[in-house]
Chain A
Amino acid sequence: KQEVTQIPAALSVPEGENLVLNCSFTDSAIYNLQWFRQDPGKGLTSLLLIQSSQREQTSGRLNASLDKSSGRSTLYIAASQPGDSATYLCAVPSGGYQKVTFGTGTKLQVIP
């Protein structure tokens, strides 16, 4: 059974800092890994999807890397802004390509 853990569970940083969120998974036979953002009381926003053949993906100030062999992914946020405050979730396929197991989440607060 796939288990996905995110560290840290919560993070508070001053505006402008670069930061790294970590995601680890137990079953490395994954097809892809996805990072989401969830704002309080709201739904999911897909940030980045990394295919198993890729090592990283970039979108604006976000960069996600994937190391299947070690069961790890990181989400790097450059020059953090207060608007980045949210909970970040990673998700990996579980028992099939389409249903996923979500990580435990990292709650990020960027202080102005």
Chain B
Amino acid sequence: EVQLVESGGGLVQPGRSLKLSCAASGFTFSNYYMAWVRQAPKKGLEWVATISTSGSRTYYPDSVKGRFTISRDNAKSSLYLQMNSLKSEDTATYYCARRVGNGFPFDYWGQGVMVTVSS
């Protein structure tokens, strides 16, 4: 059974940093692109980052580029999101997701972890 379990969320002050983790199991982690998607309270879904199977290629939207870094450790089947210079608009539930196939849908999602940026 595919499982994605996020951790590392919490309350953080604006301008500070936070690192999220996602532990994957039930599939060969190193064979899949992985991603982070976030959802602000009562809002829709926003893609945050994607990483290639080896970790050599990463992709970000302009809203987080230069502040967020996605990485992975295939030996540990783990995905990470380092978030720096956090802003109040980064407040959201962050989901780890597996990317697959044609047109790149996200076929499995974690339960999500809440990040609140507030003073």
Q: Answer whether A and B are interacting partners.
A: no
